[in-house]
Structure 1
């Protein structure tokens, strides 16, 4: 049975994670390529813990946003998606030095896997999943709030252009990308009015009218987020 190295155990403790069941943390730090590089090794990798940690992270951040802000649902969703995105998780992973402790196969490490946004973000979530299983929700939430402190108090997800925010919302909720369509144009050229509809498959549609196509698209995206976000 594999043991955590003392270096990794010390790093986890310094980061705020409490290690009880070592095997959970080993699993959280093991990339699928690690097994292929070790003859006959069949240790579990981080994917299941990543799935769990993603949900714990989402609940923790959503709870913080609900208590800290009186914003409407669309704005809350916009900030949530930014705060739990893979890019944010990878950024925090770099800040805490996670890459040195990921168990990667030789080829994956040589290919730069330890600095991959996807891998760093996934392992960050898997560590949250491990914390939840080993120490419970409150402990996992407290670690999240400590590690995400700068992000939560910053501007992530705030004042974003509505079209960008809607695209992020769609991606974060595993929906099709928004489609924009001019449904009406009226008035003379010097005072034209454009009506634009934005839709997302199996979610819904919103419309807005403005004096330019780009402004109508922006207002339509904003209306969509307010209704469905």
Structure 2
């Protein structure tokens, strides 16, 4: 199989040239455009998630040889979660080479966090199957770059941190409410409000409910830090 010019440009962006180009094509094929003769990237995504996890666990152990499991776990979660994979995917412009069905394309699929994160994991698996673990490890460490060294020791997603804060004060879990949804279907904006039991509130707007909830929780945590 010969790759298109765009695919060759993508190989250059990730710093890896495939000996079996079909693996790369499959890694970038979403289920919305798959067929009996055109496999999607879901199985590769499953494998890539595990390869990424092993590489990150190893890297964290080598980066901080004195850290406890309790310190390492939140750092690990911050590095392998879907949002981080999507950020890396945007960095190398995975969206421009994703193979999507028409409806998914029209709904803004090339910008969706979940699709980008899944594709990034699939690309990792494709490199692993094409070049082995060392090639996949090199790719991951290069693309994640200084994220590994600067991930905070107490890195947790903001929603989890806020919930733990409420529990520590003997309060009910934070309440998340959709305040507003606007914009077209292919580029929506969600405004989320999060409140603690005492009425303290944070708000944020993002392109998905999940991102807006995380941003609202982060906003409220920042407010609570200022009020100390």
TM-score, normalising length: structure 2: 0.67
- For residue 156 of structure 1, report the CA deviation from its aligned partner: 4.8
| CA offset digits 1:48-88 (Å, max 9, x no partner) | 00001000000000000011112110111100001000000
Q: Do residues 155 (structure 1) and 154 (structure 2) align?
A: no
Say if 1:90 and 1:121, in contact at 8 Å, map to a contact too: yes
Structure 2 gaps, min length 5: 172-197, 199-228
- Give the corresponding residue for 1:135: 131
Measure, in 2, the Cα distance between the counterparts of 1:30 and 1:159.
32
Moved over 6 A (4+): none
* 1:112-127 equivalence runs, <5 A: 112-127=108-123
- Give the corresponding residue for 2:24: 25
Measure, in 1, the Cα distance between the counterparts of 2:159 and 2:94.
33
| CA offset digits 1:140-185 (Å, max 9, x no partner) | 0011001001311223563559982597xxxxxxxxxx8x979xxx
- Give the corresponding residue for 1:210: none
- Give the corresponding residue for 2:193: none
- Specify whether residues 88 and 162 from structure 1 end up closer, same or farther in structure 2 by C-alpha distance, changes over 3 A only: closer
Measure, in 2, the Cα distance between the counterparts of 1:50 and 1:8.
19
Q: Do residues 42 (structure 1) and 41 (structure 2) align?
A: no
- Give the corresponding residue for 1:79: 75
| CA offset digits 1:23-62 (Å, max 9, x no partner) | 1111101001113xxxx66300000000010000000000
For 2:150, what is the secondary structure of its paired residue?
Answer: coil
Measure, in 2, the Cα distance between the counterparts of 1:68 and 1:138.
18
Measure, in 1, the Cα distance between the counterparts of 2:4 and 2:106.
21
Measure, in 1, the Cα distance between the counterparts of 2:53 and 2:116.
17
User: Which of 62, 67, 70 is the aligned partner of 2:62?
Assistant: 67
User: Which of 97, 101, 104 is the aligned partner of 2:97?
Assistant: 101
Structure 1 gaps, min length 5: 168-177, 183-193, 197-213, 215-229
Q: Which has the larger radius of gyration?
A: 1
- Specify whether residues 90 and 181 from structure 1 end up closer, same or farther in structure 2 by C-alpha distance, changes over 3 A only: closer
